[in-house]
Amino acid sequence: MMKKIFSLIFAIICLLSVSVMAGAAEMTDVQKSELSALGIMTGDADGDLRLNDTITRAEAVKMICTAGNIGTELIETNVFPDVQEDHWAYRYIAAAKENGIVDGDENGNFNPESNITNEELIKMAVCLVGYGQKAYYTGGYPAGYAAVATEIGLTKDMQFEVGASAVRSDAGIILYNALSVPVMVEKEGGYVNNVQIKELVIMDGSAGTELVTLKTKTKTFDASAYNISKLLKEFASGYSYKEGDTEQSFELYPDIIYTSGIEYTEGGMEYECPAVYDDLIVPELVNNIKTGNAELFIGGSDKIYNVEYAVFKEKMLVPLEVFSLIGCDISFDETSYVAAVSKNSTILEIIPNVIGMRKNQAGGFWVPLEVCARFVNNALYVPLEAVAREFDISTEWNDTEDTITIK
């Protein structure tokens, strides 16, 4: 009897959190325009958004990853047994799983072609903005996620039919709302019994936090020659000139076009602006960077990754994140565009579109790259061999089998 009463109460909670209605909510023109501009919701060949159509789990995951600007450049393989690597949404599904947004069913399957339910869609959206743990402890699936979605405004003025398939219009409105929700992040807190605890922090601009939403997290990088040159001078002027940098670059890579020279700060400090590859001379090469997918094997690990790579001037470039898999610390400054790769006492600082990287800040000298690091689809790619060489790491690229091995 108690079990039946509990089930009835739980059902009532679900109905209170996810109310019943017959039809989909109506999207405004502003919502349609912004979702379309961000690539979150695209129409068919005729431009029809098909707002009253149901949506599959695979389609929903693509929308989720696009809204969250979740990169798919580097993912683990074999994430779900029923999603093969040739599935159109494979990379989105794998990235969503790695980011804790989706899970498999009781058999470990994802069921990509099944229609997503309202409850499943709401759970994904809640996890997208970082409130998954709060929803779990609020009551779990589905009531906890529905309650949190209401609390943070994801489902404001919306009603849903429990257990029904979600429709595209509702999915669009939820993700439009999600764009402006302050995200919740996990940060290191104090210590309890000598164990550091984690704290969930809402990034709403109060209590010393900055305001962070999906909108503010989405960055578009300006890789124009003018902007890169400006950022490069600002960065390089922090380091005084060291004799021999230019000569070393010419000796290693004499065929590279350099525009390097000695510059002076307003205070008179002499510094070298490192060799800049002039994209304007070879635009046909820059505009025709080839991309592809390969399986990535890391020595000593049983994990296999699928990586999107780029080829420029017959050299392979890989996402910066690849080097985190081999024990390096990586970072990227979204203000200066400087990427840092470090391990032990070696620190490399890399700027896109520049033939040169600073090795070891304390030593303060430049070493050249074979080709420039570049933004590809708004993600930073770095030359695999040139960076690996500085850490005495060996790499092998089998272009016949599309495999990359790093050890």
Tokens representing 125? Answer: 């959206």
Q: Are residues 17 and 31 in the same domain?
A: yes
The answer to which of 47-51, 114-118, 229-233, 273-277 has the lowest mean pLDDT is: 273-277
- pLDDT, one tens digit per residue, over 316-325 is 999 999 999 9
Q: Are residues 194 and 131 in the same domain?
A: no
Tokens representing 62? Answer: 């693509």
Pairwise CA distance, residues 314 & 296, whole Å: 19
Tokens representing 181? Answer: 């929700």
Burial of 216 (0-12, 13-18, 19+ CB in 10 A): middle
Nearest by Cα to 308 from 92, 60, 103: 92
* Mean per-residue pLDDT of the chain: 84
73 pLDDT higher than 60: yes
Q: Are residues 277 and 213 in the same domain?
A: no
Helices (H), 27-154: 29-37, 57-67, 90-98, 118-128, 132-138, 143-152
Q: Are residues 253 and 155 in the same domain?
A: no
pLDDT value, residue 80? 95
Domain count, the chain: 3
Pairwise CA distance, residues 370 & 133, whole Å: 45
Q: Are residues 245 and 135 in the same domain?
A: no
Tokens representing 37? Answer: 């501009």
Burial 320-331 (b: 16+ CB within 10 A, else e): bbbbebbebebe
Q: Are residues 247 and 205 in the same domain?
A: no
Q: Are residues 57 and 144 in the same domain?
A: yes
Q: Are residues 171 and 295 in the same domain?
A: no
pLDDT value, residue 295? 93
190 pLDDT higher than 70: no
Question: Residue 21 — very low, low, confident or very high, per pLDDT cuts 50/70/90?
Answer: very low
Q: Are residues 269 and 200 in the same domain?
A: no
Nearest by Cα to 16 from 126, 124, 144: 144
198 pLDDT higher than 80: no
Section 282-307 average pLDDT:
80
Give the percent of the chain with pLDDT over 70.
83
Q: Are residues 173 and 198 in the same domain?
A: no
- Long-range Cβ contact pairs of 397-401 (< 8 A, separation 24 or more): 397/294, 397/316
3-state class of 70 per DSSP?
Answer: coil
19 pLDDT higher than 80: no
Q: Are residues 249 and 107 in the same domain?
A: no
- pLDDT, one tens digit per residue, over 216-275 is 887 789 888 788 888 988 888 888 876 655 555 556 556 655 556 778 888 888 887 776
Residue 11 φ then ψ, to 5° = -65, -40
Q: Are residues 206 and 265 in the same domain?
A: no
Nearest by Cα to 120 from 137, 135, 102, 132: 102
Tokens representing 59? Answer: 């389609």
The answer to which of 40-54, 67-81, 337-351 has the lowest mean pLDDT is: 40-54
Domain boundary among 178, 206, 238: 178
User: How far is the first Cα of the chain from the last one, in angstroms, to the nearest whole number?
Assistant: 61
Task: Name the residue range of residue 297's domain.
Answer: 225-406
**What's the CATH number where 292 sits?**
3.30.457.10
